[in-house]
Structure 1
Amino acid sequence: MRKIAVFGASGRTGRYLVEEVIAQGYIPVCLVREESTNKPIQTEVVTHLGSPMNYGAVLETIEGCDAVLCALNIARKSDFPWSTVTSPPNLLEESMKNIVNAMKEKGIKRVITVSAWGVGDSYKEVNWMFRFLINKTNVGVAYKGHEDQERILRNSSLNWTAVRPVGLNNDTKHHPTRISQNGSKKLRMMISRQNVAKFMLEILDDEKYYQTNPSISNE
């Protein structure tokens, strides 16, 4: 069975990602913080304890894996946009540096990460509300981190995809996914975390998404 390394597995999107990896018949190998209260509990999961900012922990986690999925994000005390940031501001940048370098060391080529709609060239597509949140609130700390991780991926030689979802919710009903490449489609404002996870597994072996930044929403 293929092993898929999952970073951010205890997060709100990462939990769905672990479930989807299992549903597709793969073995998820997860790196989670020892103090995390949301460690994956499925018997199929291989769990390593540590931080993605620690190169040794990342290297140990991806050993023997065929691909890497990343759902790391900058945490705040609450969803209130001005809520205090609780993650290191450079979490995404340093973690992606470690992931890319470890993948090169282990000869793994495929990596998919969760970014955000409004990052990079998709900034011109977002409405005034998204721009306000990015520019005037602590949401911008996460966007800076996503910009950094996308830059690191672009400068790598890996088969990367940075998925840019619109606003996220916890809806568990299935909705078709609308995919926009370089602003090719007008997106809706929401998509479920579960659908983001499903999309990431759907494109795992799809070469047309290599070195791309698809933005996605519900159809």
Structure 2
Amino acid sequence: MRILIIGGSGRIGKLIIADALTRNHTVTALVRTPSALPQTPNLTIIQGTPTKVTDITKAINSTPDLPTAIIIALASSRKTDSPFATPTSPPRLMTETNEAAIAAMRAASPTIKRLITISAFGVGDSRPFMFFPTRFFLDHSNVAFGYKDHNAVEVLVRREGEKAQGDLEWTLVKPAMLSDGKEGEGKKAKVYGDSGEGIGRVPKISREAVAAFVVRECLEKGMWVRATPVIAE
């Protein structure tokens, strides 16, 4: 398959690209800074802004074969990893990116229907199943800005998916708390339905497991269409 990924220079984005390439897919990555990604066979790097329809359209048309899916792996950023650090992303970065991606998909070709977006556990219907102290902490830290944007994305994608039946095959992947390195090595994502019921108090999942779930379950197997799978290890 040919895939277009938006947010490919981020931590999860790089892992999605790596996993897709090892499984013989071809990838186009739309990034603000091309030097953030190494030149690799079967990877086309396009410079652009994720919220601009024209830049996403340029990425879609950058190769003879149109992508079969668009993956959005953006996340809101802060000055540091501290949940209390000042946000550095625009408040509607993810919402505006999904809006632009849907508009570009529809304008480019009716064959481009698949949209997979990284969301987060605690968004939408999964919020009641988040451990209360965690939910309270998120609500009273600057992480709340990102969650507000994620919630707006879910409203947008559901609304757009209802406009034209069959026009948008969306998935919002909702990982639990993300981890790196050896901690989650070799572990696979377990799905806790669309809401996260039964997920436990402090669930975690490695970024590697999230990337594998996106590529192997959502993309290759075509699972979780018009769904919001909550995943943890």
Does TM, normalized by the shorter one, top 0.5?
Answer: yes
Distance 2:170 2:53 in 1: 19
| CA shift for structure 1 position 27 | 0.9
**Correspondence for 2:174 among 142, 164, 179:** 164
Runs of 4+ with deviation above 3 angstroms: 182-185, 205-208
Does the Cα contact within 8 Å between 1:178 and 1:187 map onto a contact in 2?
no
Give the structure 2 partner of residue 93 of structure 1.
Answer: 95
1:15 alignment counterpart: 14
CA contact (8 A) 1:30 1:45 kept: yes
What's the Cα RMSD here? 1.6
- 3-state SS of paired residue (2:102): helix
- Within 5 Å, give how 1:17-166 maps onto structure 2: 17-34=16-33, 38-63=36-61, 64-106=66-108, 107=110, 108-157=112-161, 158-166=168-176
Alpha-carbon distance in structure 1 between the residues aligned to 2:38 and 2:132: 37
SS class of match (2:219): coil
Compute the displacement of 1:183 (Å).
3.8
The yes-or-no answer on 1:182 pairing with 2:194 is yes
Query: Contact between 2:12 and 2:73, CA under 8 Å: does it hold in 1?
Result: yes
Aligned equivalents of 1:124 and 1:37: distance in 2?
41
CA distance in 2 between counterparts of 1:95 and 1:159 reads: 17
Identity %: 30
> What secondary structure, in the 3-state scheme, does the structure 2 residue paired with 1:156 have?
helix
Q: Distance in 2 between matches of 1:68 and 1:25?
A: 17
Structure 1 distance, partners of 2:13, 2:2, is 16
What is the CA–CA distance in structure 2 between the aligned matches of 1:208 and 1:69, rounded to whole Å? 14
TM-score (norm 2): 0.87
Q: 1:98 to 1:81 in 2, by over 3 A?
A: same
CA contact (8 A) 1:133 1:140 kept: no
Are the equivalent residues in 1 in contact too, given 2:121–2:196 (CA < 8 A)? no
Amino acid at match of 1:180: Y
Q: Normalising to structure 1: TM-score of the pair?
A: 0.92
Q: Give the match for residue 195 of structure 1.
A: 209
CA contact (8 A) 1:92 1:146 kept: yes
Give the distance between the partners of 2:138 and 2:39, measured in 1 at CA: 34
Can you give the 5+ residue segments of structure 1 that lack an aligned partner in the other structure? none
1:19-43 per-position Cα deviation (integer Å, ceiling 9, x unaligned)? 0110121111001113x76224423
Contact residue 195 and residue 228 of structure 2 kept, 8 A: no
- Mark the CA change 1:71 to 1:184 in structure 2 (over 3 Å): closer, same or farther: closer
Q: Which SS does the other structure have where 1:89 is aligned?
A: coil
Q: Distance in 2 between matches of 1:40 and 1:185?
A: 40
Aligned residues of 2:129 and 2:197 also touching (Cα < 8 A): no
Residues 121-130 or 177-186, more deviating? 177-186
Q: Is the Cα contact below 8 Å between 1:8 and 1:71 reproduced in 2?
A: yes
Q: Is the 8 A contact 2:3 2:70 kept in 1?
A: yes
